[in-house]
């Protein structure tokens, strides 16, 4: 397996534009996580899915953020409209259901909103 | 709010020194404790996943212990090398409700090993 794949790796967009980040988890993994890394808050959980169903979205900053997982092999995180304070690195991770299993992270998407 | 705390925030050591850092977490509803190593410009990679009180795991020069009753874990690096320089993250899983599946990360300890 190629691991967790995120795209794009870098995104620069203007304030007010819609941004869509994409993630392909490792095949067979039950959980998918979206994290945001900032200097102030470290690695912050935004939302996670179990078998494509959103379980906890309490970390989503506001209504401008939305996430979907239409099938087991694809998830999107959308920001509309984007703002400069959304600039961060966004990581997607997946892991199996079993207890003693680690999460596998994608390479991240570095988002810059100007 | 389930807070996971790590200390120190950063650490500078000389090559060959042994070092350790701490991860503290709420002991109630504890389920599992993860350690990850995060190198600059890369993504976090797992070192250990531990669930049992008193558990100790080792990978090369790195080892970790777990005390679930008092809510802490130690990560030890023996004979630090410059390539050990990274951010070390711990994350807890808690039982119950929507907490079960998710990993709550601490802020990390930034380790710099000087040649």
**pLDDT beyond 60 at B115:** yes
Question: For B57-108, what is each residue's pLDDT tens digit?
Answer: 999 999 999 999 999 999 999 999 999 999 999 999 888 766 677 888 999 9
All residues at 6 or more sequence positions from A42 whose CB lies less than 8 Å from its CB, including other chains: B105, B106, B107, B108
Reduced to 3 states (helix: H, G, I; strand: E, B; else coil), residue A39 is coil
Residue of A nearest to B3 (CA): A44
Query: How many CB atoms sit inside 10 A of residue B29's CB?
Result: 14
Kindly state whether A25 is in contact with chain B, defined as any CB-CB distance less than 8 angstroms: no
Partner-chain residue, chosen from A55, A101, A103, that has the shortest CB–CB distance to B98: A55
Question: Using a CB-CB distance cutoff of 8 angstroms, which residues of chain B are in contact with residue A100?
Answer: 32, 49, 51
Cα–Cα distance, B28 to B71 (Å, whole number): 8
Helix, strand, coil proportions of chain A in percent (round to 5)? Answer: 5, 55, 45
Question: Using a CB-CB distance cutoff of 8 angstroms, which residues of chain B are in contact with residue A58?
Answer: 98
* B103·A55 Cβ contact <8 A: no
CA angle B40, B46, B52 (to 5 degrees): 145
What integer pLDDT is reported at residue B15 of this predicted model? 97
Cα–Cα distance, A99 to B32 (Å, whole number): 7
Question: For A60-83, what is each residue's pLDDT tens digit?
Answer: 988 999 999 999 999 999 999 999
Alpha-carbon distance values, B44 to A43, B3, B32, B97 (Å): 10, 20, 18, 26
* A100·B46 Cβ contact <8 A: no
What integer pLDDT is reported at residue B79 of this predicted model? 97
What integer pLDDT is reported at residue B1 of this predicted model? 55
Partners of B13 in the β-ladder? B113
Reduced to 3 states (helix: H, G, I; strand: E, B; else coil), residue A54 is strand
Tens of pLDDT along chain A (114 residues) come to 679 999 999 999 999 999 999 999 999 999 999 999 988 888 899 999 999 999 999 999 889 999 999 999 999 999 999 999 999 999 999 999 887 789 999 999 999 999
Q: Which residue, chain included where needed, has tokens 């304070």?
A: A85
Is the Cβ–Cβ distance between A93 and A104 less than 8 Å?
yes
Query: How many CB atoms sit inside 10 A of residue B42's CB?
Result: 12
């Amino acid at each position: 397996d190629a691991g967790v794949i995120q795209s794009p790796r870098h995104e620069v967009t203007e304030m007010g534009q819609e941004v869509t980040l994409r993630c392909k988890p490792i095949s067979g993994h039950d959980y998918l996580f979206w994290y945001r890394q900032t200097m102030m808050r470290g690695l912050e959980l935004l939302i996670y899915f179990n078998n494509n169903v959103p379980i906890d979205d309490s970390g989503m900053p506001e209504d401008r953020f939305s996430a979907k997982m239409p099938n087991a092999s694809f998830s999107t995180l959308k920001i509309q409209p984007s703002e400069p304070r959304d600039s961060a690195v966004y990581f997607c991770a997946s892991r199996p259901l079993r207890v003693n299993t680690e999460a596998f992270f994608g390479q991240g998407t570095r988002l810059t909103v100007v | 709010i389930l807070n996971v705390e790590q200390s120190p925030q950063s650490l500078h050591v000389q090559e060959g020194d042994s070092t350790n850092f701490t991860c503290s977490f709420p002991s109630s509803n504890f389920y599992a404790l993860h350690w990850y190593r995060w190198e600059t410009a890369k993504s976090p990679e797992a070192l250990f996943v531990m669930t049992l009180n008193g558990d100790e795991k080792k990978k090369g020069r790195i080892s970790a212990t777990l005390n679930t009753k008092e809510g802490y874990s130690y990560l030890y690096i023996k004979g630090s090398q410059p390539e050990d320089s990274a951010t070390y993250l711990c994350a807890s899983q808690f039982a119950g409700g929507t907490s079960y599946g998710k990993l709550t990360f601490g802020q990390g300890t930034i380790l710099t090993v000087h040649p």
